[in-house]
Structure 1
């Protein structure tokens, strides 16, 4: 779904970066590309990966889930780890997150957007971990 449709102004206005939002069917985040884990939060709800080509992606699980202080999240990587497409990065309990009053809508954004002429979504429907989400134009 477009970032503009989520209820978090940092993402819906493009302040953090351009990208898409995903409404996850399962509580797993997989690496979209080969790269290095460069950002993590102590509350385990977010991870950043710098692609081998230099693009920086931030995956932010949920809206206001920082307030859960890591409850219902398990990170499988740490800063500096090398990852490849399909590697499991984070697992989260969607049912308990929702039962706690939070959304699991997950923005996936390119944070160094100024490096690209354009960042466009490649789909507006269901995706799998193997699908390409964004096209970056240099």
Structure 2
């Protein structure tokens, strides 16, 4: 298979996903998309909790990738989850190597239980303050396996703009859609 046939095959999958998707997720942060397999964290790269996309950020704010209710907010303000009306839970995590991270340099604009719309600012990042404390500032957006009857998660590639660029599409199992 040639290089161009790979790209056209991926474009076909994304076009199909756009037509079939039960949920379209926008980029939570501006930057460059990378597959989860390239994230230097075993739980994320092996897709143990779900599938999605990662972003090498070039922005200092993380936005809601979809509308829903904030169902989780980590005390260090580096991760949150949004549960959609269809029960899909989307988990967004900023940074790798956060086990000893206090959250200094991160602040949240929301609390658990808050209703948010796509594009709502969720986390503010003081990148100069946090980059020295983390192994990586890569940001992952994962559709949690156990949150809904998910058939497929399809993600794009390339550069994205937070709150504007669709980058992941979720397709639920046909007979389980609410």
Name the TM tier (shorter chain): over 0.9
Contact 2:68 2:116 in 1 (8 A): yes
The structure whose Rg is larger is 2
Matching residue of 2:96:
63
Unaligned 5+ runs, structure 1:
none
Q: How do 1:87-126 residues align onto structure 2 when only pairs under 5 Å count?
A: 87-112=120-145, 115-121=149-155, 123-126=156-159
Runs of 4+ in 1 over 4 A off after TM superposition: none
Q: Cα deviation per residue 1:45-76 (whole Å; 9 max; x = unaligned)?
A: 10000112221000000001242211111011
CA RMSD in angstroms, aligned pairs only: 1.4
TM-score by length of 2: 0.73
Contact 1:97 1:103 in 2 (8 A): no
Matching residue of 1:86:
119
Matching residue of 1:74:
107
Matching residue of 2:16:
none
d(CA) in 2 for partners of 1:22, 1:90: 15
CA apart distance, 1:101: 4.6
Matching residue of 2:169:
135
Unaligned 5+ runs, structure 2:
1-33, 173-178
Which protein is richer in strand relative to its size?
2
TM-score by length of 1: 0.92
